[in-house]
Amino acid sequence: MAAPASPAITSRYHRPMNLPARTEIDPAHRFDLTAIYETPDDWNRAVGELLDRLDDLKSLASEPLSSTADLETLLDAVADCFERKQRIELYATLAANVATDSDAAADRKQQAERVTERFEPAVAAALRRIESADQYIDGLPESDRWYARNLRRQAGHVRSEAVEDALAAVEQPLGASSRVARAARLEDFEPPTVERPDGETVEIRYGNRRAVLSHPDREFRRRAFEVYHGRMDSYEHTLTQAFAEKLQAARAKASVRGYDSIRDWALSGRCYPESGLAASLPEKVHDTMVETVRDNLDPLHRSLALRQQRLGVDELRPWDLDVSIAKSEPPELSYDDVKTHILAALEPLGEEYVERVERFFTERRIDVYPTQDKRTDIPAYCPSSAGDGAYILANFKEDVRTAFYLCHELGHAIHVDHHREGPARYATAPRPVEEIPSILHELLLVDHLLAEGGALADAAQNRLLECIGGNLYSSARSAQFTHTLAGYVEDGTEVTVDRAREAAASLREAFYAPVAFGDQPGRNLPVSGIREPYSSYQYVLGATGALAVHSQLRAGELSPERYREFFRTTGRQDSVGLFETLGCDIQTEDPFETAAETFGEYVDDFER
């Protein structure tokens, strides 16, 4: 994932058992955040400087524009404020997530969020002024025109100064549903324990549940699944209500800003990292994507039948879905081994590309191992800023799965490294394309490990089904679930637990027909309530685009140079156009049907 999935939370995690203290980890495997700000005092000064710049921006926006030079000055001021905000948020996020026990780090994260109350009204004032500057845009340098036109388009959804001030003031309260959902899953959740076959007692938390359910002993998996979800069932009403309220808040924002729907608003959101640019994806693409994937479920069903056969079970149950079905036991991998494999895997993208990845490994931009008081509820993520580049918070556990997670996030990191080569205002990517480089990384690592043979090849094949099956099919299911519940909210229908269950069950029966789920009240709802509405579509599009790029690279139809040029320009084109440069017309069914067919070929290869 390219960015943290949720807003800052100042409460504490339950500390996982048996993790080392941060000081026990080699400094080479920990972030060096002094590269961003030397000290917290420097960060505080940067916050003050940003607030001063926001005052300057509002002052500039208060004066009519009388020339192209005036417009260029205003655009530069907008871009500068976004660049400063990126850096402030990057430092605050990383520092808080490697020290979840630190009040000072939590306070900085909260302070960074409060900047929004000053930031958004100032940017809105600038957009209102840009809206009246059409006659000056064509006179701008070519490098500024796309930025100006993108901001000009957004200006149509900006409201009066009083309304913008009010929206900024309630932004944090409107995010309460995310904090409630996260507290239910993390802070207030008392992890149950279960005894492994070797006699060791294991805690089961949101962050390690998949690893626990990967254990080869089926009876242990069943007990672990039941005890974890049995406890989570008590939060079913809380999580459903939290997500319903998130959708209500999204509907209110969409309505105030003049969008046609929650989805229209969500698909028009800012690119990441935020530089002022916003994406624009037609709602028709979302419909085509979900409907086409749902019409092509046979490869997924065949993969589940293969899973049942490999496990040798009479009936496939939900606790059978995470365990490896490779012929051999998944091997352990040292961090040095993983680096070697990743660098070799990425050779098809060119020598320069591999050199960039190698440098990233040596610059203390990866926080490698899980530790006490570090955020461990997600396997890895990759926040960035235009000024500082990308950082990866990983939780590498010396296994194949977390090796692939690291390789995935490196795709985001090197994408950032490329698009920073141009003006900082374009050092960003529309959400629809941002998962392409990360999923492509995983496909290339699969290719490399298959060539290595043995247990590594077996594990790579297993990961291939897991990666594409999850990103293509599970994400499409989640996208449809969100859209169904959003429809209830927009129609004035209450999102009750029963209705959420019914929507989830219908999708579960369609997508996972070969699995016997049994009586599971709130289990496996395809939504956490933590992420923003309509976030799942980007993974379906990412898998679709990555599969297309992978195929073209192997066939020699796309050169590494052309692909790297795509990297450099993601902030300078619309989403549909970016896919077209990769040979994908996402306004049609074709790329999604091709992606499903390719997944079916992977299933066939596994069976052989």
Q: What mean pLDDT is predicted for residues 316-344? A: 96
540 versus 379: the higher-pLDDT residue is 540
pLDDT range class, residue 169, cuts 50, 70, 90: very high
pLDDT range class, residue 536, cuts 50, 70, 90: very high
Q: Which of 9-18, 199-208, 233-242, 373-382 shows the lowest mean pLDDT across its residues?
A: 9-18
Residue 61 has pLDDT above 70, yes or no: yes
User: Torsion-angle region of residue 556: left (phi > 0), alpha (psi -120 to 50) or beta?
Assistant: left
349: which residues sit within 8 A by CB, 6+ positions away? 444, 553, 560, 563, 564
Residue 527 has pLDDT above 70, yes or no: no
Percentage with pLDDT > 90 across the chain:
87
Q: What pLDDT score was predicted for residue 526?
A: 55
Q: Does the model's pTM come out above 0.85?
A: yes
Give the C-alpha separation, 57 to 405, whole Å. 40
pLDDT range class, residue 363, cuts 50, 70, 90: very high
Q: What pLDDT score was predicted for residue 6?
A: 38
130: tokens are 């840009």
Residue type, position 53, single letter: R
Give the C-alpha separation, 127 to 147, whole Å. 12
Q: Residue 278: beta bridge partners?
A: 270
SS3 582: coil
Structural contact between residues 34 and 91, judged by C-beta atoms closer than 8 angstroms = no
Residue 589 has pLDDT above 50, yes or no: yes
| 3-state SS string for 146-191 | HHHHHHHHHHCCCCCHHHHHHHHHCHHHHCHHHHHHHHHHHHCCCC
Q: What pLDDT score was predicted for residue 176?
A: 86
Structural contact between residues 437 and 497, judged by C-beta atoms closer than 8 angstroms = no
Total residues belonging to the chain: 608
pLDDT tens digits for range 72-90: 999 999 999 999 999 999 9
Closest CA to 161 of 190, 128, 187, 185: 128
Count the alpha carbons within 13 Å of 270 in the hemisphere toward its beta carbon. 16
Give the C-alpha separation, 489 to 212, whole Å. 36
Locate the domains of the chain by residue range.
Answer: 22-174
Q: What pLDDT score was predicted for residue 7?
A: 36
Q: What pLDDT score was predicted for residue 5?
A: 40
Radius of gyration of the chain (CA): 24
Q: What pLDDT score was predicted for residue 324?
A: 97
pLDDT tens digits for range 89-109: 999 999 999 999 999 999 999
pLDDT range class, residue 173, cuts 50, 70, 90: confident
Structural contact between residues 123 and 57, judged by C-beta atoms closer than 8 angstroms = yes
Q: What pLDDT score was predicted for residue 10?
A: 36
Count the alpha carbons within 13 Å of 238 in the hemisphere toward its beta carbon. 17
Q: What is the mean pLDDT of the chain?
A: 94
Measure CA of the first residue to CA of the last residue in the chain; give whole Å. 32
Q: Residue 389: beta bridge partners?
A: 385
Is residue 283 packed enough to be buried (19+ CB in 10 Å), middle (13-18) or exposed (0-12)?
A: middle
Give domain 22-174's CATH superfamily: Oligopeptidase f, N-terminal domain (1.20.140.70)
Q: What mean pLDDT is predicted for residues 449-459? A: 97
44 versus 533: the higher-pLDDT residue is 44
